[in-house]
Amino acid sequence: CKKASDIICSVVRDNKNALLGLATGGTAEGVYKYIVEEFKNGKIDLSNVKTINLDEYVGIGGDHPQSYRRYMDDHFFNHVNINKENTYVPITTGDIDRELLNIKEIIDGNGGTDIQLLGVGRNGHIAFNEPGERLNASASIVDLNEDTIRANSRYFSNIDEVPKKALSLGIGDILKSKKIILLAFGSEKANAIRELLSNDFITTKVPCTLLKAHNDVTIIIDEALSEKL
């Protein structure tokens, strides 16, 4: 997480107007903790930075405790000097077509994000692009699969409360980023990371393998995962 924070901070130091592509999930929490620490130590200025998040559940508003807007405010935005008006987390309670256009404008207006932070699902999903015959190139409404609903139910009081759909950036949106960092911790991510690192195939059945088509990806794993590889 410290390493990922260092990379993100160096992108911001090089370009104070950078557009950061951000992720949620348990893995990313540590990254934000270290960026906040840099800010508190006076080593980073985020006042001109813009951000866009990968995804949001459909049907829950930004004030819902498990919304990704709330996650971002709680773990990151409320603790730094970022201008909240420059932070975009998809809004899924209103006009979805308008939101999809907003996303396109933000990403294409900057020629892709300057850096994209990614976690990965146990099934290899990135953002909420679930394994399947086809993957979306651009942002769309997607169905969450059983495994993802089960994994994310730990944040809800019971599994029935987990939304079944999400708005997610597409694989093309992610690949437009100038630089990508993917973090994967824990042995349960081993299958996904093995498919990414130990062969030369790309398959929509393991969406993170699409990252092989990008030429600036940093993959950071922990010991528990590396022991499984």
Judged by CB under 6 A, the residue of 26, 59, 65, 109 near ligand GLP is: 26
**Who contacts 130 (Cβ-Cβ below 8 Å, separation ≥6)?**
121, 123, 142, 143, 144, 145, 148, 207
| Residue in 19, 36, 52, 54 binding ligand GLP, rule: CB under 6 A | 54
Question: How many residues form the binding site for ligand GLP (CB under 6 A)?
Answer: 14
Residue 64 appears among annotated catalytic residues: no
Contacts with 100 (C-beta within 8 Å, 6 or more apart), sequence order: 138, 139, 140, 167
136 binds ligand GLP (CB under 6 A): no
- Which window, 31-39, 86-94, 117-125, 218-226, contacts ligand GLP (CB under 6 A)? 117-125
The CB-based long-range contact list for 148-153 (8 Å cut-off, 24+ gap) reads 148/121, 148/123, 151/121, 151/122
Which 138-167 positions form the footprint of ligand GLP (CB under 6 A)? 148, 152
Greatest extent of the chain over all pairs of C-alpha atoms, in Å: 47
* Contact status: 1 vs ligand GLP (CB under 6 A): no
Active site residue 95: no
Known catalytic membership, residue 130: yes
Candidates 119, 124, 163, 170; binder of ligand GLP (CB under 6 A) is: 119
Q: Is 123 a catalytic residue?
A: yes
d(CA 135, CA 131): 8
Q: At residue 116, what are phi and psi to the nearest 5 degrees? A: -120, 120
When the beta carbons of 200 and 223 are compared against ligand GLP, the nearer one is 223
Task: Tell me whether residue 27 or residue 209 sits nearer to ligand GLP (CB atom).
Answer: 27
Among candidate residues 53, 110, 123, 152, the one labeled active-site is 123
- E strand intervals along 74-169: 87-88, 115-118, 140-143, 165-168
| Closest to 23 (Cα-Cα) out of 92, 118, 114 | 118
Verify binding: residue 129, ligand GLP, rule CB under 6 A: no
Residue nearest to ligand GLP (CB): 119
Instruction: Give the interface with ligand GLP as residue ranges (CB under 6 A).
Output: 23-27, 54-55, 119-121, 127-128, 148, 152
Query: Which residues participate in catalysis according to the annotation?
Result: 55, 123, 125, 130
